[in-house]
Amino acid sequence: MKVTLAQLDFVVGDIEGNKEKIIAAAQQSAGSSLVVFAEMALCGCPPYGLLQYDWFIDKCEKALDEIASRCDNIPILVGAPIRNNSGKGKPLFNAAVYMFQGQRKVFKKKQLGISDRYEAEYFEPSDDDNILQVGCHKFAITIGDDMCNNSGDDILISNRVDELMPQQPDLIVNIAADRFICQHAEHRRNVLRQTVLKYERPLIYVNQVGASMDCIYDGGSMVFGYNAYVVDSLPFFETVVKNIPMELLISMKRCDNQEIPSKYESLYNALILGIRDFFQKQGFSKAVLGLSGGIDSALVMTLAAAALGNENVTAILLPSEYSTGHSVSDAEALAKNLGSPYYIIPIKDSFHTLQDTLSPVFKGLPFDVTEENLQARIRAVILMAYSNKFGNILLNTSNKSEAAVGYGTLYGDMCGSLSVIGDVYKTDVFELSRWINRESEIIPWHTIEKVPSAELRPDQKDTDSLPDYPVLDAILYQYVECSQSPDAIVAQGFDSALVNKVIRLVNANEFKRKQVAPILSVSYKPFSRRLMPIGRFVV
């Protein structure tokens, strides 16, 4: 007897394509006692507002019928949205559908994810019996957060399996769509391990892999034996279909068969997967970005080249009269290291032309942030012109530290179709760049080591406007990720005036963050999931 784990990359809304992937994986697993697919596998995750359309749910139902017909002799458990026909509650269930030899049984999710707002809007929680009989074995079927206690405790106080244990299941199955969060894989494994220890049952966990919009799913599906160790696992960030002998689930081995990548290896792989899927799933193939010679654009170009192919990423160097010579030489060195095409288009003449055009209105007023932003917007016009002419998708290169405090120009350096590192703090930008260079220089070391500057006025440095990034990021982490109050942050040893300044900047720049490109989410609190009002509210 064997169980098959199908860790696949599904496309949101592509029900036909997802259906064919499910059928192909099931057919190659003929002879398995159960082929397990991830949460919402049929429609892709997250489906968001697609769930409001009857035609969308109709297509899901028809696809399930075809899967059942074409895989009649293969037992399948697949995640899908299912109509709630009770006349009470929300219109749908988040479900796992079992199909085999004309039999169909629907297992419904109980606990709706607090981080996925669409769940509470469209799905009704269920207390139904979630026991599946497979041969002589009883499987307790859980979906996503059913395995978790929403209080956030590591030890599970409340778990769906509590309700199923009186029926004495032999095995627990959890199908999930757990998005990637940097350094979260070990925490996830420990939470699942607590379930195995609590109920003394083996556990099968199947996660999605791939990226959709801002969500990145890292896979890492795994099987726990009775001793609560991972007796077999699937790799992170890869699509894999693997048969697991049932005998393995009773293993008493005492070490985990799962290697969790380091922080920066996993962050690197997640961002590459996010870029690649964003392009492939929308039919794009080529990217363009402004390469300044600074660390942010250098990192984004390196990631994009790894995701799309060096030849498919074009860099445009846009030096101003305030750019240093090393900015151009560092940018050229990176493009040559990668073997990517690049162009140099100085903006000095365009800047002076616009200054002359505006002089009757500005009437000799002194140089200020207006002229700085004007240069950033000239660059954006040139980059978008290249994008329109050649079809290359513009990548945004702003980091999370800048986005948090509004250190960027709307319709200037904040433009782009995808924000690659908008959920990565500046300190991690530096560390990830060093990790990339761990074996040989790809990003020029001078780019990593020099003082950050926007180079929009003479001798400008980021620290003219902001505290040193390690200090800034530490304050931002406490306020944004940990939801700490100003007083609590000051109590940790930070200067009171600085803390209040940073928090005022975060709050006042919410209007900017509402207008940015989709951001690849890699943290607990990406700005895309942090619902805050627009305005200079007081904390």
381 with 324, same domain?
A: yes
Sign of CA dihedral 405, 407, 409, 415: negative
The beta strands (E) that lie in 219-346 are given as: 222-224, 230-233, 240-245, 287-290, 313-317, 342-344
- CA distances 32 to 133, 208, 248, 403, 409, Å, are 15, 20, 14, 49, 56
Same domain, residue pair 337 and 210: no
25 inside domain: yes
Q: What residues have CB less than 8 Å from 103, skipping those under 6 apart?
A: none
Q: Which residues contact 206 (CB under 8 A, 6 or more apart)?
A: 5, 6, 7, 36, 37, 38, 173, 174, 175, 176, 221
Does residue 539 sit within a domain?
A: no
pLDDT at 539: 62
Last residue of a domain, one of 235, 260, 285: 260
Report the relative pairing of strands 203-207 and 171-176 from DSSP bridges. Answer: parallel
Q: SS3 of 230, please?
A: strand
Helix axes 295-308, 325-338, angle to 10 degrees: 10
Which residues does residue 317 pair with via DSSP β-bridges, in sequence order? 344
Domain stops at, among 260, 281, 316: 260
Of the listed 19, 21, 39, 402, which one is catalytic? 39
Q: Indicate whether 369 belongs to any domain.
A: yes
Burial of 240 (0-12, 13-18, 19+ CB in 10 A): middle
- Say if residue 290 is in the same domain as residue 191: no
CA 172 from chain centre, in angstroms, equals 27
User: Which residues, including other chains, have CB under 8 Å from residue 265's CB and lie 6 or more apart?
Assistant: 435
Alpha-carbon distance 258 to 235, whole Å?
8
Say if residue 317 is in the same domain as residue 439: yes
Query: Quick one: 317 and 178 in the same domain?
Result: no
In a domain, 478, yes or no: no
CA angle 201, 206, 211 (to 5 degrees): 155
Does residue 161 sit in the same domain as residue 43? yes
39 counts as catalytic: yes
Buried/exposed code over 49-76 (b: 16+ C-beta within 10 A; e: otherwise): ebbeeeebbebbeebbeebbeebeebbb
Structure tokens at 75: 């037992």
Q: How far apart are CA 195 and CA 173, in angstroms?
A: 11
> Can you tell me the distance from the alpha carbon of 8 to that of 10, in angstroms, rounded to the nearest whole number?
6
Residue 28, classed as helix, strand or coil, is: coil
Burial label for 479, CB within 10 Å (0-12, 13-18, 19+), is buried
Supply the pLDDT for residue 456: 62
pTM for the full predicted model? 0.94
CA-based R_g, the chain, Å: 26
Query: Based on the domain organization, do 290 and 256 belong to the same domain?
Result: no
Domain boundary among 260, 287, 322: 260
Domain count within the chain:
2
Contact between residue 93 and residue 106 where contact means Cβ atoms under 8 Å apart: yes
Check 21, 109, 426, 512 and give the catalytic one: 109
In a domain, 481, yes or no: no
Backbone angles phi, psi at 49, to 5 degrees: -70, -10
- CATH number of the domain encompassing residue 152: 3.60.110.10
Same domain? For 368 and 514 the reply is yes
N residues, the chain? 539
The reported pLDDT for the residue numbered 154 is: 46
Q: Residue written as tokens 């049984």?
A: 105
Which of the residues 148, 215, 372, 402 is marked catalytic? 148
User: Is residue 320 included in any domain, yes or no?
Assistant: yes
For residue 276, being part of any structural domain is answered with: yes
Query: What is the C-alpha to C-alpha distance for residues 486 and 479, in angstroms, rounded to an integer?
Result: 8
Pairing of strands 240-245, 230-233: unpaired
Do 209 and 271 belong together in one domain?
A: no
Is 483 among the domain residues? no
| Domain residue limits at 256 | 2-260
Same domain, 395 and 443: yes
For residue 407, the domain's CATH number is: 3.40.50.620
Does one domain contain both 124 and 178?
yes
Helix (H, G, I), strand (E, B) or coil at 301: helix
Name the residue among 227, 199, 171, 237 with its Cα closest to residue 34. 171
Q: Are residues 191 and 322 in the same domain?
A: no
- pLDDT 10s per residue in the chain (539 long)? 799 999 999 999 999 999 999 999 999 998 999 999 999 999 999 999 999 999 999 999 999 999 999 999 999 999 999 999 998 999 999 999 999 999 999 999 887 765 566 788 899 988 888 999 998 889 999 998 887 754 444 444 567 888 888 899 999 999 999 999 999 999 999 989 989 999 999 999 999 999 998 899 999 999 999 889 999 999 999 999 999 998 887 777 788 999 999 999 999 999 999 999 999 999 999 999 999 999 999 999 999 999 999 999 999 999 998 877 788 999 999 999 999 999 999 999 999 999 999 999 999 899 999 999 999 999 999 999 999 999 999 999 999 999 999 999 999 999 999 999 999 999 999 999 999 999 999 999 999 998 877 666 677 777 777 889 999 999 999 999 999 999 999 999 999 999 999 999 999 999 999 999 999 999 999 998 887 888 766 66
> What is the secondary structure of 404-417 as a DSSP string?
HHT-S-TTTTT--S
Q: Half-sphere exposure (CA, 13 Å, Cβ side) for 396?
A: 29
| pLDDT, position 151 | 43
60 assigned to active site: no
